[in-house]
Amino acid sequence: MNRLPILLSILAAAMISAPAVAQDEAEPEIFVRYSQDGGEISWGMLHGDQVWQLEGAPYDTMEHTGVWHERGAVKLEAPAEPTQIFMTAFNFRSHISGDPAEEPGMFIVPPSSLVGPEDPIVRPAESRNLHYEAEMAIVIGKRAENVAVEDAHEYIFGVTAGNDVSERAWQATDIQWVRAKGSRGFNAVGPVLYKDADYKNIQITGRHNGEVVQSENSSDLLFGMEEMVSHISRYITLQPGDMIWSGTMGSTRAMVPGDVYEVELSGIGVLRNEVVQGN
């Protein structure tokens, strides 16, 4: 049997399914998680206005499946699927009174608190004082234990924008901040995961119904993201996909149903979510 025609047809199909143009070396590597019609969620890489499906999470593989979609034909989901989410408290001087702490303020929220850039933020029926918090978040690229600060950059895969929604009344009365900071759908992230971003120099801007209400640079962090990776990894093993949030700046105000909050990271993108009332 002559197998040459079969081999040629397979090769031709592979060439058709490959990206139309080779990625320019200068083109940034930008990733999304997406779904179609409420179906399975996949990771993809942005090539212009096209989303090219990946075999898995980008910190695990960069292999394309050959499937692609127009950006407008998919729903963007949260560009992260962590097993652990670490938040940083009081990490901008503008957000604290008195002297900074000697060590980072750290707490954990559940992954179920994440929502994406096209999802609403649902205010629980019992909530009365729901605030925004514009933040930057990093995603870990490989397993990390006892990482030195000077080596921490090797473990940071990419950056995304986040809104650490916080119920201040619960935060003031609960023994822990799990409910106030980690309720279902409280932590919006997106729209993209930007690889190799300069997380030491990113302007973080928050807009409440179009009005700029928060703005500061990541260079102003009391504890930078490399320090956070080192500090956390001394005590807890970080896994690929885990997230560390920067903490917020300045003062915050309450959001009510119908409000829209945007978090913009300079050069990366804008996260935009509407607040809706829950039952």
pLDDT band at 14 (very low <50, low <70, confident <90, very high): very low
The per-residue pLDDT for range 38-67, each reduced to its tens digit, is 899 999 999 999 999 999 999 999 999 999
Shared domain check, 61 and 27: yes
In 3D space, the residue among 126, 121, 113 whose CA is nearest the CA of residue 174 turns out to be 126
Shared domain check, 92 and 72: no
Alpha-carbon gap, residue 261 to 135, rounded angstroms: 12
Q: How many distinct structural domains can be found in the chain?
A: 2
Shared domain check, 141 and 108: yes
Domain with 146 in it: what CATH number?
3.90.850.10
Shared domain check, 207 and 177: yes
Write down the pLDDT at residue 27.
84
The tally of CA atoms less than 13 A away on the side-chain side of residue 173 is 6
Shared domain check, 130 and 44: no
> Which of 54, 76, 98 delimits the end of a domain?
76
> Which of 76, 103, 120 delimits the end of a domain?
76
Shared domain check, 98 and 48: no
pLDDT band at 96 (very low <50, low <70, confident <90, very high): confident
Write down the pLDDT at residue 107.
96
pTM: 0.90
Shared domain check, 183 and 140: yes
- Domain hosting 218: range is 85-277
One-letter amino acid of 139: V
The per-residue pLDDT for range 173-223, each reduced to its tens digit, is 999 999 999 999 999 999 999 999 999 999 999 999 999 999 999 999 999
Shared domain check, 34 and 95: no
> Which of 76, 96, 113 delimits the end of a domain?
76
